[in-house]
Amino acid sequence: MSEIYDLIILGAGPAGLTAGLYAGRSRLNTLILEKGGDGGQIAITSEIENYPGQMPEGESGPSLIARLTAQVEKFGAKRAKETVKEVKLDGESKIVVGERAEYRAKTIIIATGANPRPIGCRGEAAFVGKGVSYCATCDANFFEGFDVYVAGGGDSAVEEAIYLSKFARQVTIIHRRDALRAVKAVQDKAFANPKIGFIWDSVVEDLRGDGLLTGLTLRNVKTGILTAIDADEEDGMLGLFGFIGYLPCSALFEGQLAMENGYILTDEDTRTSVPGVFAAGDVRRKSLRQVVTAAADGAIAAMQAEKYLLLG
Ligand code: NAP
């Protein structure tokens, strides 16, 4: 039979890595499973300026995560690249079935995070990677000197628009209301940026282009009026970045854990509805989704897993 770990952590974003750091320091036999690179959404965040104690001049998500990964490795949590296909959470020994192997553990921390929500306009899927993106850090340089549109009005949309303005000729934020949701300090930066404009009360209705994205149709949600936006003829393309929130990565746990709108329900100590199973970070229902709250969840979850191993 395969090794039984004390703890398996699903996901290596800020919540999972912090759980791994704490579990490693507590000498729990810990395995972190991650299907992609470390960092989750932070790996695609261009600049972080509100993580306590970070570089005061601002820091990129990948830079912060690289330091966290090194810190986790120092304390001994094992790592494996794995796409998890199935979990069986109810028994005393929890089973995680991956593409490469099957794993067992006495406790599980779910830190699978969330993925960008699609904009929801016609033609979107066909233009992903051909004008449509959900990651400014990854794709901003493809739009050097082009016109770029950003859908959304929250922190992500406004912060990433500011980042995109370093590359694009002009960035236009398309928001479905007439007031931004983003925190005031970030709004002020965007309003003061001459390369950022706004289209209010509007959503993206459909996309067009022959291979590359060359045009958008917007719908004013108050008047119903449709407006076509076309790429500059010489450019021959434009960019559309979607930042309209996230969808939790929780499908694997449906029917096994209590959830609400796809978010895993926990108590304040990150305990789910199943003993020995904890959820940390953006995948759990909570009021504030930030790197600092993900890290806090990870620390709490690891300590609760340790307590569960000792006391049941
Ligand atoms: P968010 O705060 O949920 O904002 C989503 C934005 O998209 C809102 O402005 C919303 O409009 C709009 N929207 C939602 N559904 C839409 C649709 N179907 N069509 C058009 N627009 C739509 O998402 P987020 O900005 O990605 O942030 C997620 C979480 O991470 C938040 O808690 C945020 O504070 C946090 N975050 C923090 C930082 C930071 O602290 N530096 C950075 C990034 C994200 P309405 O305003 O009308 O609802």
**Which atom of ligand 1 has the smallest separation from the CA of 179?**
46
Closest CA to 47 of 151, 164, 192, 133: 164
Closest CA to 185 of 162, 151, 169, 166: 162
Question: What are the E-state strand segments in the chain?
Answer: 4-10, 30-34, 78-81, 84-88, 94-98, 102-110, 114-116, 132-133, 147-151, 170-174, 196-199, 202-208, 215-220, 226-230, 239-242, 246-248, 259-260, 263-264, 277-279
Q: Residue 97 pLDDT more than 60?
A: yes
Q: Are residues 238 and 250 in the same domain?
A: no
Active-site annotation holds for 232? no
Contact 77, 21 (CB under 8 A): yes
> Rounded mean pLDDT of the chain?
96
The predicted-structure confidence for 61-82, as pLDDT tens digits, reads as follows 999 999 999 999 999 999 999 9
Q: Are residues 163 and 210 in the same domain?
A: yes
Mean pLDDT of 27-32: 98
Other CB atoms within a 10 A radius of the CB of residue 100 amount to 10
Q: Are residues 286 and 230 in the same domain?
A: no
Say how many domains are in the chain: 2
**45, 290, 291, 297, best to mutate for ligand 1 pocket (most atoms within 8 Å of CB):** 290
Q: Are residues 154 and 188 in the same domain?
A: yes
Ligand 1 proximity of 178 Cβ (cutoff 6 Å): no
- The predicted model scores a pTM of 0.86
Q: Give pLDDT, residue 59.
A: 86
What is the DSSP code string of 146-158?
Answer: SEEEEE--SHHHH
Residue 54's CATH number: 3.50.50.60
**Percentage, residues of the chain above pLDDT 70:** 100
Cα 233 to Cα 121: distance, rounded to the nearest angstrom: 23
Q: Give pLDDT, residue 138.
A: 84
Contact 246, 282 (CB under 8 A): yes
Distance of CA 230 from the midpoint of ligand 1 (Å): 26
Mean pLDDT of 35-39: 94
Contact 135, 128 (CB under 8 A): no
Active-site annotation holds for 139? yes
The predicted-structure confidence for 186-215, as pLDDT tens digits, reads as follows 999 999 999 999 999 999 999 999 999 999
Contact 154, 175 (CB under 8 A): no
**Which atom of ligand 1 has the smallest separation from the CA of 158?**
25
Q: Are residues 84 and 190 in the same domain?
A: no
Q: Residue 137 pLDDT more than 70?
A: yes
- Domain that includes residue 59, residue range: 4-116+246-311
Closest CA to 45 of 54, 35, 33, 32: 54
Q: Are residues 185 and 39 in the same domain?
A: no
Closest CA to 137 of 173, 111, 167: 167
Q: Which residue has the tokens 């993206």?
A: 204
Query: Which amino acid residue places its CA nearest to atom 43 of ligand 1?
Result: 156
Q: Give pLDDT, residue 87.
A: 98
Q: Are residues 64 and 143 in the same domain?
A: no
Ligand 1 proximity of 243 Cβ (cutoff 6 Å): yes
Residue after which a domain boundary falls, among 242, 259, 287: 242
Contact 16, 10 (CB under 8 A): yes
Mean pLDDT of 260-284: 98
Mean pLDDT of 227-249: 96
Q: Residue 2 pLDDT more than 80?
A: no
Q: Are residues 222 and 290 in the same domain?
A: no
Q: Amino acid identity, residue 311?
A: L
Active-site annotation holds for 147? no
Residue after which a domain boundary falls, among 242, 266, 291: 242
Q: Are residues 16 and 108 in the same domain?
A: yes
